[in-house]
Chains A and B, each alone.
Chain A
Amino acid sequence: MFDSESFQSAWQIIKTEIPLAIWETFYVTVLSTFFAIIIGLPLGVLIVAGDNGRVLKIPKLILKAIDVIINLLRSVPFLILMIVVFPLTRLIVGTVVGTAASVVPLVIAAFPFVARLVESSLREIDPNIIETAQSMGATPFQIVIKVMIPESVPSLISNATIAITTVLGYSAMSGIIGGGGLGKIAINYGYYRYQYLVMIFAVLFLILLVQIFQSLGTFLSKKFDKRLKQN
């Protein structure tokens, strides 16, 4: 497996395919996480703000519906979900194969997860601080925008990091049914063509990407946390 000839051919593949694959994985992950946050953040806010009508008066039925939908989407395994959302993917992207097409199922898989992460971040806020804002005559919208979200920024950042590394893992999985990136390289060359060296390299780069995202997330979360003594 590691004789010079196979090493040569593996190196050739790595040289020509890996740089593009890294880029594809990177942008699919970032783009999908971005859209997942766009959808998931408001849902998480609604769940916490509507809880017991503390900040927002939202009908119980709507809260329950959001809860059920999130649980439902989170319980479908990602591979199955990708296949199930084919019609939607075709509607939005025009095709079901390729790097861009994998963004649709990734977003659908990730936004319920993001909503739950946002929920847990916002629940950490001291309810007394929300009460204080209410005692000052803050509107529900002001409480969300000026208190709940800014006060939980460090926690939101570290949870966004969890989300982005999870999406990265999913994006690699999408290689099985036509998604691009490092996952596709690992599966197509490593699994189907027994080029284990290529697979190992693809996995190494995946690990590297996770490390980079995680370190950046931890750094930013700490930097933005004004509860920690600094200067």
Chain B
Amino acid sequence: MIELKNLSKSFVTADGTVEALKDISLSINDGEIFGIIGMSGSGKSTLVRCINMLEKPTQGSVYIDEKNIGTLSSKQLRAERRNISMIFQGFNLLMQRNCLKNVLFPLELEGLKGEKAKQKARELLQVVGLADKEKVYPAQLSGGQKQRIAIARAIATNPRVLLCDEATSALDPQTTHSILSLIKEINQKLGITVVVITHQMSVVEEICDKVAILDNGEVVECGKVSDIFSSPKSKAAKQLVFPEGEQNILPRKENEHHIRVVFNGAVAAKTPFIANLAKNKGIAASILSASTKSIGKKAYGNILLEINADKTKIKEVTDYLNEFEDIFVEEVE
């Protein structure tokens, strides 16, 4: 269990004090994959660095399994950090060590040496699917392979928590997918609590159970991924869920209305409601944008419709669509 209580962090710069985090309280349960998402500069990296005290919070406290991390001595903190591993956007492998020795590094820090350590490192290389790269140096690996080595290194000390700081942001979509699957697999097999920091909603959708949305140093929304994805309330959440935005759609004439239809479940996604609209109501709707995804085992998504009709007709449409279960309809201004 990770608990952040009233966490604040400010930096003193030449232009004055910058408040990177403002009174953040969150709790992350054991075994969960918890996403923290926000735009650049929202403070998400600072937040994750506070969890292992790479950044000391200005105010508030961090509890991991009821232990207040902020009050530990530097020796105790070093011991605790072996329980809180971290992977990074830039992989941060030791470039002068081969893959096996990179995985051995955290074991060496613990004083574990020799054949026993090597055997453990080899097993970890197997887990991340790079057993054949033992003697290869990081410079010869692709980005995805580097992150796999970094993951093997991070779980070498059997940590309870894995922090992922933009771990897939430097990777292409396909590699991102494979790294996320690996993280999920490790989470399920080893029961490690995972905290995922990202700016990509797709990453959160793919692996997170819960998500907190960070905007300008504050948590503006927090909850189950499916809830936030189907009905984002805050402005920041809307921007992340509907990145195409409302503004870059062509200017509308008087009787052109835009309606967003949000699905929240597989049944709704299978209903041919656009056809029904035309057939039963005689209303032709054109699709401006659409995206549907499956999260967990349910399908979610949203479609943006353009309908050329007057106000009363539009009311009829929204009423009709709102009758379906798991569908939310709103007119976009």
Q: Which residues of A contact B (CB under 8 A)?
A: 126, 128-129, 131-139, 142, 146-147, 150-151, 153-154, 224-229
Contact B140 A229 (CB under 8 A): yes
B78 at the interface (CB under 8 A from A): yes
* Residues in chain A near residue B85, CB distance under 8 A: 135-136
Contact A142 B109 (CB under 8 A): yes
CB-nearest residue of chain A to B89: A128
B70 CB to closest chain A CB, in angstroms?
16
Contact B54 A131 (CB under 8 A): yes
- Residue of B81, B82, B95 with highest tally of chain A CB at under 10 A: B95
**Given A137-B78, A137-B81, A226-B139, A132-B86 contact (CB < 8 Å):** yes
Contact A135 B81 (CB under 8 A): yes
* Residues in chain B near residue A227, CB distance under 8 A: 95-96, 137, 139
A210 CB to closest chain B CB, in angstroms?
28
B106 at the interface (CB under 8 A from A): yes
A129 to B102, CA, bound (A): 12
CB-nearest residue of chain A to B163: A135
Can you offer 28 A-B residue contacts whose CB atoms are under 8 A? A129-B92, A129-B93, A129-B94, A131-B92, A132-B88, A133-B109, A134-B81, A135-B54, A135-B84, A135-B85, A135-B86, A136-B81, A136-B82, A136-B157, A137-B78, A137-B80, A137-B81, A137-B82, A146-B109, A150-B96, A150-B97, A151-B95, A151-B96, A153-B96, A225-B96, A226-B137, A227-B95, A227-B96
Task: Kindly list 5 other residue pairs between chains A and B, CB separation below 8 angstroms, not including A137-B78, A146-B105, A150-B96.
Answer: A135-B86, A136-B105, A137-B106, A153-B96, A227-B139
* Residues in chain A near residue B90, CB distance under 8 A: 126, 128
A56 CB to closest chain B CB, in angstroms?
12
A135 to B96, CA, bound (A): 19
Q: How many residues of B sit at the interface, in one of the four size bands?
A: 20 to 34
B150 CB to closest chain A CB, in angstroms?
9
CB-nearest residue of chain A to B139: A227
* Residues in chain A near residue B92, CB distance under 8 A: 126, 128-129, 131-132
* Top 8 closest pairs, chain A to chain B, by CB: A137-B81, A137-B78, A132-B92, A226-B137, A135-B86, A227-B139, A137-B82, A136-B106
B308 at the interface (CB under 8 A from A): no
**Given A135-B52, A139-B78, A150-B105 contact (CB < 8 Å):** no
A130 CB to closest chain B CB, in angstroms?
9
A138 to B74, CA, bound (A): 11
Q: What does the 1/0 interface line of B44-64 toward A look like (CB < 8 Å)?
A: 000000001010000000000
B98 at the interface (CB under 8 A from A): yes
Classify the interface of chain A: helix, strand, loop or mixed. helix
B108 at the interface (CB under 8 A from A): yes
B18 at the interface (CB under 8 A from A): no
B266 at the interface (CB under 8 A from A): no
Contact A226 B98 (CB under 8 A): yes
A133 to B78, CA, bound (A): 10
A138 to B90, CA, bound (A): 19
A162 to B205, CA, bound (A): 54
**Given A226-B137, A229-B140, A138-B96 contact (CB < 8 Å):** no
Our pick among B86, B95, B108 for the contact of A226 (Cβ within 8 Å) is B95
B290 at the interface (CB under 8 A from A): no
A129 to B138, CA, bound (A): 13
Our pick among A131, A134, A142, A151 for the contact of B94 (Cβ within 8 Å) is A151
* Residues in chain B near residue A229, CB distance under 8 A: 139-140
**Given A128-B90, A129-B92, A151-B96, A134-B139 contact (CB < 8 Å):** no
B79 at the interface (CB under 8 A from A): yes
**Given A128-B90, A135-B86, A226-B96, A146-B81 contact (CB < 8 Å):** no
CB-nearest residue of chain B to A129: B92
Contact A134 B54 (CB under 8 A): yes
* Residues in chain B near residue A147, CB distance under 8 A: 94
* Residues in chain A near residue B108, CB distance under 8 A: 146
